[in-house]
Amino acid sequence: MWIIQKEYNTAKKSEIEVTCALIMDGKQVLVTQRSEQMPHPLKWEFPGGKLHSGETPESCIVREIREELGIEISVWELLPTVKHTYGREIIKLIPFVCRWVNGEIQAAEHCAYQWVHLDELETLDWLEADLEVVSLLKKKYLPNRS
C-alpha cells in the first residue's frame, strides 16, 4: 500500500503594517506612480509607507508624506484597514483621508503623481491592495455611483 503525504509549507507569512494617504481636494485625490526601481514597478498607489516600531499610524503617514512628497498634511479620517497578500507578505494597509496643509510636491521616490477625479480612478493600473482602497473611497464619497 502506498501512502501519499502532502508537504505543507509551514513557514508563516509576515504581516507588514503600511499607511497610505488619500489626499483629497474636493472630489479629486492625489495618486503616485511607483518608479521602475521599486517593487511592482509603474503601478499606481496612494502614497505612504511602513509603520516603524513605536510609531502611531497617524504619525507614520505624516512622516511618510513629508519624506516622499515634501509636503505637510493633516489627517482627517481613518478608513477601514485592507489586508492583501503579496507572495509571502501580508500587507495591512491603513488608509487615511488627509488634507494638504502646505509645501510643494516633490516626488522623491515615485516617477509621477497626479490629481485624479474619483470617477476616473479605475482608469489607472493600480497596485492590488490600493485597488481595494479605491473601492472604499468611492463608496464613501460617491455612494450613488459605486
Query: Is 90 inside a domain boundary?
Result: yes
Query: Is 130 inside a domain boundary?
Result: yes
Query: Is 9 inside a domain boundary?
Result: no
Which structural domain range is residue 18 located in?
A: 14-141
Question: Do residues 99 and 73 touch, judged by C-beta distance below 8 A?
Answer: yes
Distance of alpha carbon 68 from alpha carbon 95, whole angstroms = 16
Query: Is 136 inside a domain boundary?
Result: yes
Distance of alpha carbon 77 from alpha carbon 97, whole angstroms = 5
Predicted local confidence at residue 87, as pLDDT = 85
Under DSSP, the state recorded for 126 is B
Query: Is 7 inside a domain boundary?
Result: no
Query: Is 1 inside a domain boundary?
Result: no
pTM reported for the whole predicted model: 0.87
Question: Do residues 125 and 43 touch, judged by C-beta distance below 8 A?
Answer: yes
Domain count across the chain = 1
pLDDT tens track, the chain, 146 positions = 455 444 445 457 789 999 999 999 999 999 999 998 888 899 999 999 999 999 999 999 999 999 999 999 999 999 999 999 988 889 999 999 999 999 999 988 899 999 999 999 999 999 999 999 999 999 998 877 64
Query: Is 98 inside a domain boundary?
Result: yes
9 phi and psi angles, rounded to 5 deg:
-80, 110
CATH code for the domain in which residue 74 is found:
3.90.79.10
96 phi and psi angles, rounded to 5 deg:
-120, 130
Query: Is 108 inside a domain boundary?
Result: yes
Q: How many CB atoms lie within 10 A of CB 112?
A: 12
Predicted local confidence at residue 145, as pLDDT = 63
